[in-house]
Chains A and B, each alone.
Chain A
Amino acid sequence: MEYFLELILGGLTRGSIYALIALGYTMVYGIIQLINFAHGEIYMIGAFTALIFTSVLTLLGFNEIAVIVLASLAAVIYSSAYGYTVEKIAYMPLRRASRLSPLISAIGMSIFLQNYVLLAQTSDFLPFPNLIPEFEFIKPYRHIISSPEIVILITTSTAMILLTFLIKFTRTGKAMRATAQDRNMAMLVGVNVNRVISITFVIGSALAALGGVLIASHVGQINFYIGFVAGIKAFTAAVLGGIGSIPGAVLGALVLGLTESFATGYVSSDYEDVFAFGLLVLILIFKPAGILGRVTARKV
């Protein structure tokens, strides 16, 4: 029973991190119908930035709390900046092109960013410092849940509540929803569509960076390639929940996290990634619209 509980909590932790990344995919897809392949790389850059800033700040003699806050902030800022720039360079000139062009451009961007980090930094796995301190009150439950897991669960839920608030109740959120529904119509009623798209990329990238920092300090090592697998898994989550739908992405991510956790816990850990890919293929074949997605008829 305890093992079962441990697997559930582990799965939820995993799932909530996938959710942070999946939100970026689903938001971008909702607005410009593009699978942003470079999103996984944005997450990886977030993790790297956090690692670099942590090391530098620790050497400069800042105390622990300041290091955590400043490094996470730097990761969020830089990832957002990268997300913004990627959109301006690789996607904005292709707004009116056929659907294949931005997709190939996105794949190219992803390969470019991976190799950029590989060449500028290193191809080795770097140890990532454990940013999250050990809490006292968690000690008795130590065998079921660790304090990083609690921090991850709390941070992700807060981020998601804030995001929901932003999209439901602010002016920007309204503009985003309008653009997602009908871009031309939104333009006609005076929404600055380019700005809305930029904001979407910035928010998605910031969430991905948060996910990057949390998972890197939980797993304890990073390299230039982590974005690829994480990106595909988050995309799986987004598709599972119904791409374009924000609650769907969260739900899909949690389902994926739990599936992986149970599959590795009870079956075999060698095939961890195969389970995720297999799940993706199965959903797309049997229910391409996802759990919460709607089937839309295409008008000609």
Chain B
Amino acid sequence: MIKAQEIKKSFLVSLWFMFLTFPIMVIRVNPIEKFVEWRWKNMLVVGIGSFLLSFVWRYMLKKKEAGEKRAETGESGKTFLIQRILEERRFYIPLVTGLTIIAVAFPFIFSMYQTSIMTTALMYIVLGLGLNIVVGLAGLLDLGYVAFYAVGAYSYALLNYHFGLGFWSVLPIGAVLGFIFGVLLGFPVLRLQGDYLAIVTLGFGEIIRLVLENWNEFSFGPSGIANIDRPGFFGIQFSLQTASIYLYFLMIGLVIFTIIVVNRLQNSRIGRAWIALREDETACQAMGIDKTRTKLRAFALGATWAGMVGVIFAAKTTFINPASFTFLESAMILSIVVLGGMGSILGVIIGALILILLPEYLRAFSDYRMLLFGAIMVIMMVFRPQGIIANIRRTYKFNE
């Protein structure tokens, strides 16, 4: 049962939070009209909310500690339902067939608007999987991932504007440009330690955005580039409706392609080198792995996907400007990876679907979207750093 001491603790917490949020939540000033608005209702909400949440918080902390102790004594915890499903063929095959049918039928059942949202979610899946190579596998915290996305988008927009190049010819160019930028930016910074790397990539991301915003002759500044061609199919141009369905299937294809590539990479020599590097750099070097080159590969391969999705983004919206490539975008992709589970492909997919689709369908919460992303990042790190679906380490079992 809940003891009196617990209640007292929670009461103090709620008092503290009421004090803490007092100026920001309760008072709102309008300095121009010299008007002050008092919102005492908010204080009540904060008080009650923090009172209840502090119970949940302590319960979760206790549960986590118990879990850690269990892990230390060597008792293996129960495997999760999802992992079991993945391992057994009996469940696995009908599941995949079902998903395929839903994916194919989706644009024909639902409206164009729904299809467009789904396409966006699929784009974020690919971005998440790309960033997952860098953050999840190689353990390099890249906060400027959106810069490569911008490179892809602008390369299509500019090549289309100046030379009239089509979508299909720019898609590989965007990927290659993403790769080149990844190498160029990665080369000088990858010698740095983890947290410095985060800041430098953040700085690079901002530099690219600021240059796009200010260099009017090159990128048309904040007004952006409009009327970018939609993708065609061997010279056939589609109507708006067909084009969105076409893009949807394109994205489905790209997602499948990405999953296959990332999965193969993960289990290859280079993928194992990334994981080893993430776990212990020194030991990894002692095993004869070239640290810089391996990191650079992860960085550049991650950037390649961002470049590709950037091209698709430009083709989908037909209008781009630097405002689409802020730090918040990087943070959003990062929270997809963190929520889903760093290093886990299935986790990233689920993370992207949750984080992109949920705010779309819960319109009431769309204002709170970024607030939620921030909170998710903190809560996941505190209680479940491995994400919703933890990456299963490949182990060799000895069957007698």
Contacts and interface: CB of A to CB of B under 8 A. Distances in A.
A281 interface: yes
A284 B189 contact: yes
A97 B28 CA distance: 39
A278 B200 CA distance: 9
B19 interface: yes
A277 B374 contact: no
A100 B139 contact: yes
Given A97-B381, A111-B374, A270-B214, A120 B25 contact: yes
Given A105-B377, A110-B374, A239-B196, A74 B385 contact: no
A106 to B, nearest CB: 9
B108 interface: no
B338 interface: yes
Contacts of A58: 34
B61 interface: yes
Contacts of B191: 285, 288
Contacts of A111: 328, 331, 370-371, 373-374, 377
Contacts of A114: 370, 374
Contacts of B335: 108
A217 B31 CA distance: 13
B141 A104 contact: yes
B282 interface: yes
A85 B139 contact: no
A85 B28 contact: no
Contacts of B25: 120
A285 B42 CA distance: 48
B368 interface: yes
A35 B385 CA distance: 18
B194 A100 contact: yes
A35 B135 CA distance: 17
B327 A56 contact: no
Contacts of A298: 282
A105 B29 contact: no
Contacts of A232: 199, 202-203, 206
B18 to A, nearest CB: 12
A284 B24 contact: no
A119 B367 contact: yes
B287 to A, nearest CB: 14
A35 B198 contact: yes
Nearest to B188: A285
B358 interface: no
Contacts of B323: none
Contacts of A112: 371, 374-375, 378
B82 interface: no
A149 interface: no
Contact of A235 (B199, B204, B328, B374): B199
A274 B375 contact: no
Interface string A92-132: 01100111111111011111111111111110001111000
Interface string B1-40: 0000000000000001001110111011101101010000
A90 interface: yes
Interface residues of B, number: 59
B338 A104 contact: yes
Interface stretch (A45-53, A163-171, A175-183, A184-192): A45-53
A30 B206 CA distance: 26
Contacts, number: 171
B192 interface: yes
A60 B198 CA distance: 46
A103 B28 contact: no
Contacts of B143: 107
Nearest to B211: A274
Given A97-B385, A117-B24, A281-B189, A55 B29 contact: yes
A129 B20 contact: no
A52 B374 CA distance: 25
A45 to B, nearest CB: 7
A277 B203 contact: yes
Interface string A27-43: 00000011100000000
Interface in A58-114: 58-59, 74, 78, 81-82, 85, 89-90, 93-94, 97-105, 107-114
A85 B20 contact: yes
Given A52-B29, A117-B24, A277 B36 contact: no
B372 to A, nearest CB: 9
Given A100-B141, A103-B198, A107-B334, A281 B203 contact: yes
Nearest to A116: B371
B286 to A, nearest CB: 9
Given A49-B24, A115-B370, A284 B196 contact: yes
A108 B376 contact: yes
B165 interface: no
A108 B385 CA distance: 13
A33 B135 CA distance: 20
Nearest to A74: B23
A127 B377 contact: no
A161 interface: no
A261 B250 CA distance: 49
Interface of B: 16, 19-21, 23-25, 27-29, 31-32, 34, 36, 42, 61, 135, 139, 141, 143, 188-189, 191-196, 198-200, 202-204, 206-207, 210-211, 214, 282, 327-328, 331, 334-335, 338, 367-368, 370-371, 373-378, 381-382, 385
| 8 smallest beta-carbon distances between A and B, as pairs | A108-B377, A112-B374, A111-B374, A277-B203, A105-B381, A55-B29, A115-B371, A108-B378
Given A108-B376, A119-B371, A284-B192, 17 more contacts: A56-B27, A56-B29, A74-B23, A82-B20, A89-B378, A89-B382, A101-B381, A105-B378, A107-B334, A110-B374, A119-B367, A120-B42, A126-B29, A235-B199, A278-B203, A280-B203, A285-B188
17 contacts: A59-B36, A81-B19, A81-B20, A99-B194, A103-B195, A104-B338, A105-B382, A108-B335, A108-B375, A108-B377, A111-B374, A112-B371, A112-B375, A119-B367, A129-B31, A277-B206, A281-B200
